[in-house]
Structure 1
Amino acid sequence: MNKSVKTVEDYLSYLAEKGFIFGEDALGFISFGQHYTGASDELVNTALEITLKAQKQFDGSFYVSVLEMFKEHDIVKRKDAYKLIEERKII
């Protein structure tokens, strides 16, 4: 992913260009997760990226749990998110 911060919509468009198409249910989970955790676009995009890498497809409950983990550990930057994911051996 390009390291400059993109909106969630921009990132979803980028993923669609790469062949990842999200249905209405997935888009609902993405929006719900962001609002439920208060995550920034940067963290939502990072959680999406991690979900796709770890699960090889979109898994809404996995995605929300990643966002919850970021919130629990006061993660605000992509770099710190990946450090936590590596420490937890998620990917």
Structure 2
Amino acid sequence: MTTREYIAFLQAKGFKLGKEALGFIAFGQGYTAASDELVNIAIETTLKQQFCFDGSYFIEVLERLQKETNTNKKARNYVRTFESSH
């Protein structure tokens, strides 16, 4: 599901995301180059943990998700490279 679709889904369920929240979401996705999937997870985590949308918390969650995803990808690539050389 794209982030745009996810936001529409949330709004249909009654979550009101204002211009500031939408701005943080767009900024965070551009700043981290995160996929829609990670952005959606960060939005959901923010709403569940903060009980509202907190822009700085969202950015922190998104940065951590992106860092962990990149680290896991590097580790998997390293293991594949190591295995193929032996």
Q: TM-score range by the shorter chain?
A: 0.7 to 0.9
Q: Which runs of 4+ in 1 moved over 6 A?
A: none
Number of paired residues? 71
Please identify which structure carries the higher helix content: 2
Q: Deviations over 1:46-90 (max 9, x none)?
A: 000000000010000000000111122225xxxxxxxxxxxxxxx
Percent identical residues? 53
Structure ID, larger Rg: 2
Measure, in 2, the Cα distance between the counterparts of 1:10 and 1:74.
22
The answer for unaligned runs of 5 or more in structure 1 is: 1-5, 76-91
Superposition RMSD on alpha carbons, in Å?
1.4
Q: Report 1:8-87 matches (<5 A).
A: 8-74=3-69
Q: Could you state the TM-score of these two structures normalised by the residue count of structure 1?
A: 0.74
